[in-house]
Chains A and B, each alone.
Chain A
Amino acid sequence: MDPVYDTRDCFRALVAAMSRPGTVSESPTEPADHAVLSTLVDHEVTCFTPDETVWSALETEGRLSEADVAAASIVHAPDPSECPVRDLERGSLKEPSDGATVVYRVETLITDPDPTDDVTRLALSGPGVPGKRWLGVDGFSRDNARALADAQSSYPCGVDAVLTTDRSIAAIPRSTELEVA
């Protein structure tokens, strides 16, 4: 991953995903969760990752400031079921931006999924969404989605979520109204 151009491309993909929840953007490199972490993490923020590759890559560059999963600003969740998203830092009313960003690794992301698809279907509305948008996620169970919805239920406090596959990025910021179908 190029530290200048690829991180910029990844950031623009994140901007597009975050400002239009439910849309899918393309990551410049694979896997997308690594690209996102490499774009956002340095020693100025705390990070939790169970992924050895990411851990050692950040540690080698002196960019990793580790924290417990419940205290970290950026949380890596290669297995969404393992991530206790309800317990993550949600920030305070005075400074809600202290809330964590969780980077999930999922199987596939589908825009406008068919109701017959065997995926978790999420209905998103709120800022960035004209009306309602549907996002289908494989590798992210309904329970995972409900836990995320709980973690985002105390707006403006809450957790921002980035969903990544090998090559694609979607986001569910805390301002989004998330319904699990």
Chain B
Amino acid sequence: MTDKCGVAAVAEAESVDDLLDSVTDDGLTGYNYAYLDEHTKREVRRATLSAIALPGHQVPFASREMPLARGWGTGGIQTSLSLLGPDDTFKVIDQGSDESVNAANIRRLAARTANVETTTDATEASVIQTRHRIPEEVLDDDQILVLQVPITDPLRRVDGSDDANRRRHAHSNYSKMWVALYENVVEYGEIKLSSRYPVLVGDRYLMDPSPIPRWDVPKLDDADNLFLFAAGREARIYAVPPHTEVEPLAFEDRQFQVERFPEHACGNCGSEDTFLTEVETDDGGRVYACNDASFCEKRRADPSLSKAHHRNGDGHTWGPPTDPSVPYESDGDSGENRGPAGPNRGGDE
């Protein structure tokens, strides 16, 4: 049978199983390696290199239609598929989980069309595509993290006009964001942004680090790996190269704070130094559990495993250690700078 999906074939077949048996190839005939055509890859690649040369600047690119709706990781997919080659190992994370539908499908697309190895182990992967989290395990200099971005411009919080915001970026005029943060302090006694915390990259560009929790923001600063941020819907790519200064905006007397969970350890592995999320159990109770599922699994096997275990104990800091000795204050109304907000208690969003 030459006509694999034709009407004749369907008419001849007696059952669906017969039809499936008759499919001799893997359905990839006519597709280029890594799904994208070379013309698209060149476009994404030029924008990626431009983005690396201008840390924090949002570089426009011609975002293509992908086999899923814009806003579901199309920018990340285009960027990942432009990077991937047969020697790569690919990991996809969706809010800390390798097993969500979106992550599994993106991973399968890459495995099928780009013939890459896939893994759930963050230390094994050469390219990691992620949504809303940076892995708990320290990334190495030969790894690339591709973050999916829904909203590229941090200034959109304070002004809906892209044109005005691009002018502000041109002149590093971020006063409106400072005022917004000040108003936040006036209202809540501290800066309460649950995610998308604005950061200044290389002392020049204000950048939206994508909806990662504040917990992950310090990981961007002076990292060993390259971070690429891609937004398919907004058609922008931006980057934080390794060893680049990334500073969360804050005031002298109201500093940047990460989420802290001093009274909770992960219900599964007992970790106290990882980002936890509140999970509702079947019987209606609430437990805290690691958000990074693959590291949680490793910790269950070996509770003493450090986040830099694969780096011969070089002591590289990656993200904040949770210090249980710091008292948890749910309201930050006193004169002192304290009172971290919980992960779901942001004043924004």
Q: From B18-26, B35-43, B336-344, give the one contacting chain A.
A: B35-43
CB atoms of A45 and B241 under 8 A apart: no
Chain B residue numbers with a CB within 8 Å of A156 are: 54, 57, 204-205
Are A128 and B244 neighbours in the complex by a CB distance under 8 Å? yes
- The verdict on B52 contacting chain A, using a C-beta distance below 8 Å, is yes
The answer to whether the Cβ of B305 comes within 8 Å of any Cβ in the partner chain is no
Would you call B49 and A101 a contact (CB within 8 A)? yes
Cβ < 8 Å to B, chain A residues 1-41: 3-5, 7-9, 11-12, 14-15, 18-20, 39-41
Q: Which of B8-49 contact A (CB under 8 A)?
A: 32-34, 38-39, 41-43, 45-49
A136 at the interface (CB under 8 A from B): no
Flag if A20 contacts B241 (CB, 8 Å).
yes
- Chain A, interface size: which category? 35 or more
A11 near B54: Cβ-Cβ < 8 Å: no
Interface residues of chain B: helix, strand, loop or mixed (majority)? mixed
User: Closest CB of chain B to A61's CB: distance in Å?
Assistant: 11
Bound form: Cα–Cα A20–B239 in Å:
13
Which of A155, A160, A174, A175 has most B Cβ within 10 Å?
A175
Interchain CB contact under 8 A, A12 and B85: yes
CA distance A128 to B222 in the complex (A): 9
CB pair A94–B170 under 8 Å, yes or no, is yes
* A52 CB-CB contact with B under 8 Å: no
Whether B242 sits at the interface, judged by CB under 8 Å, is yes
Residues of chain B within 8 A (CB-CB) of A160 are 49-50, 53
Contact B243 A128 (CB under 8 A): yes
Given contacts A4-B33, A12-B83, A96-B54, contact A18 B49 (CB under 8 A): yes
The yes or no answer to B80 lying at the interface (CB within 8 A) is no
Interface centre among A9, A97, A155, A156 (most CB of B within 10 A): A97
Binary contact readout A158-169 vs B (1 if CB under 8 angstroms, 0 otherwise): 001000000000
Given A4-B38, A7-B38, A94-B166, residue A18 in contact with residue B52 (CB < 8 A): yes
Select which of A3, A7, A15 is within 8 A of B226 by beta carbon.
A15
Contact with A along B82-120 (1 / 0, CB 8 A): 111110000000000000000000000000000000000
Q: Complex Cα distance A15/B32, Å?
A: 22
Given contacts A15-B144, A175-B54, are A127 and B241 in contact (CB under 8 A)?
A: yes
Within 8 A of A (CB), among B39-71: 39, 41-43, 45-55, 57, 59-60, 62
| A97 and B52 form a contact (CB under 8 A) | no
B202 at the interface (CB under 8 A from A): yes
Pick the 4 closest A-B CB pairs, nearest first.
A173-B53, A93-B170, A127-B244, A128-B241
Q: Which residues of A contact B (CB under 8 A)?
A: 3-5, 7-9, 11-12, 14-15, 18-20, 39-42, 44-45, 92-97, 101, 126-130, 155-156, 160, 173-175
Given contacts A4-B33, A44-B39, 15 further A-B contacts (CB under 8 A): A9-B85, A11-B41, A14-B49, A15-B144, A20-B141, A39-B45, A94-B166, A94-B169, A94-B170, A127-B55, A127-B241, A127-B245, A156-B54, A160-B53, A173-B52
